Chain A
Amino acid sequence: MNAPEDIAAILDDMAGQLAAHVGKHGANAPAMVGIHTGGVWVAEQLHRRLQLDEPLGSLDISFYRDDFTRIGMNPVVQPSELPFTIDDRHIILVDDVLHTGRTIRAALNELFDYGRPASILLAALIERDGRELPIEASVVGRHVSLQPNEHIKLTGPSPLRLEIQQTA
């Protein structure tokens, strides 16, 4: 399978789905949070399209990973920035690729260490098979079928490009 090329069109579509989803669930004044690094790039695009009032937040989930004891910490950890209160807020959590679900698990734990959100909705640019946790996105840009030895990677921030890589 080839990597999707027209990312702008996918983002337009996601923004439409998000607006509908937020409206349907009455999630007033939502705040958006991207997960470092690719998720922040996607979130920047969606944030602009949705014209949200709250500034964009970002999470680096390195301190919340479940594999620290096996692979250690990332060499450079970006500080997480949530420039709004989490308590009672509707949060749109954004990542580039939803795969095992472990990144989202870590992000949820970190968000709860900042407060008690009213709700969290997950938006992923790409969804692929291989979930290891019961986590699904509410809004998905594209579903991509990949072999277990294939990875899809977002590069950016401008231009945003998707690449499928093979691992030996």
Chain B
Amino acid sequence: MHALAPTGVTMSRSEARDEDFASYMHARQPSLLRTAYLLTGDRHTAEDLVQTAFAKLYLSWDKVKDQGSIDGYVRRILVNENNSLWRRAWKRRESSTAELPDRPHHDEYDGGTGAELWDLVQTLPKKARAVVVLRYYEELSEAETAEALGISVGTVKSQASRALATLRDRAPQTLNPREEDR
């Protein structure tokens, strides 16, 4: 039951909630979409991933908002859902793209040798790739990365170390400045 003021402008609780959520979504969507793209390597899949993450956040909005941990929560959903997408390949066949505005893809970045490194990142196991994206794109600390992935700081360190070792082994010499790393 919602009591309207004489002017009729008083928002119901659900309307206020939606407005609050929409404001957050508007502010964070570009950033999350970019992270999702790096996690998935495909823009349409990234959009689907972000849509699912926001939907789950929407369902839990009141509680998460109360806890003051919205960014961490939605980032965790994003990563977990991506892993889940990989585990359940059928889900990738779900087409949510029809509901989204069509736009050209730019997945083939012609960045010279850098593109080779991007190609290699896409070959990493999903959890290692998530560590790489959070640490070296989002520039989260090891503790923040651990929180986002729900793993220990030690696991973050070991995953990052193994990911870098894998990239070194596979990368061309021009991208492999071993001496600088040490």
A, B from the same assembly? no
Report which B residues bind A (CB closer than 8 A): none
* A contacts, CB < 8 Å to B: none
